[in-house]
Amino acid sequence: MLKYDIDEYRKLYPVVKSGTIYMNHAATGPLSTKVVAAVDKYLRERSETNIDNYAIFQPTLNETRSFAAKLLNTTPDRVAFFDNTTNAINLLAAGLDWKPGDRIILNDIEFPANVYPFLNLKRLGVEIDFVQNRDGKILIEDVEAMMTPRTRLLSISHVQFLTGYRADLNALGELCKRRGIVFAVDAIQSAGVVPIDVDSMKIDFLATGGQKWLMAPQGIAFAYVSSEMQERLKQAYLGWTSIKNFFGEFTRYRLDLDDTARRYENGTLNYIGITSLHESLGTLLEVGIERIEEHVLDLSDRLIGDLGSLGMKVYVEGERRARAGIISIKVPDADVYTSKLAKSKIEVAVRQGVIRVSPHFYNTEEEILTLVGNLKKI
């Protein structure tokens, strides 16, 4: 039984009123009326009253940081804001002391944002080992078999963008801890739709962007940096806001870095993006990530079952704990399907020849049935 009033939350999303069945959150999430109203208020104030708004914005900034920390089950001092996931990951890639012959484990179906920052280290003599997927899954035994005494880091997406496979972060974190390997996670396809606990998962570094399941605009992201990881990172880039009391002593130039992860915020932040993220995170946390996970998995169970009756296969059919919000359907001519679905105002995506469906907490079983009905007609 649904444990929140879905009809009330559906009222927050104008895309619902437009008649569109939107199930493409793995690409870009829609903005709520709360987000739009908050941004409108911010812009009006910046143009009319609170133009120099640094001081007045601090409570919103601090609460958004607290919301992000709550989402990850950590403390606000471990959260830093960025403009996108890639630049957050680059902080990690550029900050460790690499030696020629060091190795990094990735996998062969990763989204490029979690590959290129590490691939760029080949210029330093670092080698990349790609775990081969097994029908869209990255299995822990294959990861462990790839580890060597020179393996320094494992980076993996919590949920794979193409197949929807959810990695067992608890098991991977334990494995990395035991082997003395840095454990990094790209959470852009999981944050906001499944619970994340960076402590119990033994995650050293995590990055996520706001534009997908968190339903904020493009250009706002955040990272988690454990206190132990912070001690190991050499800050390759430094800015005037990275130091303590940066607003009080402008010309006392000193390398007095802030004790928190705020040291990685090198300059002016994206206040409009943070304003948006404040509202979108507030809504998701109000509903509850565990409730969101349960509802989205219920929707995917129904979709997978109905697709089976049509003879359609998906990448991840098994246990719920191996799935999150992405259901990827294997069909020939996927572009034909999505084009015809779009004409019926059903928005999904095509990625590398598969139909990718990604419903969120405000989508309904009736919308799943409508999608399946249209797939059957096609």
Which positions ≥6 away from 194 have C-beta within 8 Å? 158, 159, 166, 289, 292, 293, 324, 325
Query: Is-contact 208 222, C-beta < 8 A?
Result: yes
Tokens matching residue 90: 């680059």
User: What is the average pLDDT across 88-103?
Assistant: 97
Rg (CA), the chain: 21
Q: Could you give the percent of the chain with pLDDT greater than 70?
A: 100
User: pLDDT band at 169, cuts 50/70/90?
Assistant: very high
> Which pLDDT value is given to residue 249?
85
Which positions ≥6 away from 124 have C-beta within 8 Å? 98, 100
Please report the domains of the chain, with CATH numbers, ordered by start residue: 6-23+288-377 (3.90.1150.10), 42-285 (3.40.640.10)
Tokens matching residue 272: 């409009």
Tokens matching residue 365: 């079983």
User: What is the average pLDDT across 121-146?
Assistant: 97
> In angstroms, rounded to a whole number, what is the distance separating the alpha carbons of residues 8 and 103?
50
Range scoring the smallest mean pLDDT among 178-182, 216-220, 245-249, 250-254: 245-249
Whether pLDDT at 1 is above 80: no
User: What is the average pLDDT across 241-266?
Assistant: 94
> In angstroms, rounded to a whole number, what is the distance separating the alpha carbons of residues 376 and 341?
11
Q: How far is CA 299 from CA 179, 283, 302, 303, in A?
A: 38, 20, 5, 6
> Which pLDDT value is given to residue 2?
83
Mean pLDDT of the chain: 96
Residue with tokens 């920390």: 69
> In angstroms, rounded to a whole number, what is the distance separating the alpha carbons of residues 349 and 25?
9
User: What is the average pLDDT across 40-62?
Assistant: 96
> In angstroms, rounded to a whole number, what is the distance separating the alpha carbons of residues 12 and 71?
21
Q: What is the pLDDT of residues 3-44, one digit of tens each?
A: 899 999 999 999 999 999 999 999 999 999 999 999 999 999
User: What is the average pLDDT across 134-144?
Assistant: 96
Whether pLDDT at 195 is above 90: yes
User: What is the average pLDDT across 81-108?
Assistant: 97
> Which pLDDT value is given to residue 319?
84
> Which pLDDT value is given to residue 3?
85
Whether pLDDT at 279 is above 80: yes
> Which pLDDT value is given to residue 125?
98
DSSP-assigned states of every residue in 174-221: HHHHHHT-EEEEE-TTTBTTB---TTTTT-SEEEEESSSTT---TT-E
Query: Is-contact 137 167, C-beta < 8 A?
Result: no
Classify residue 331 as left (phi > 0), alpha (psi -120 to 50) or beta.
Answer: beta
Backbone phi and psi for residue 130, each to the nearest 5 degrees, phi listed first: -100, 115
Which positions ≥6 away from 89 have C-beta within 8 Å? 113, 114, 117, 118, 155, 184, 186, 207
> Which pLDDT value is given to residue 178?
97
> Which pLDDT value is given to residue 247?
87
User: pLDDT band at 246, cuts 50/70/90?
Assistant: very high
> In angstroms, rounded to a whole number, what is the distance separating the alpha carbons of residues 147 and 131?
10
Its pTM stands at 0.96
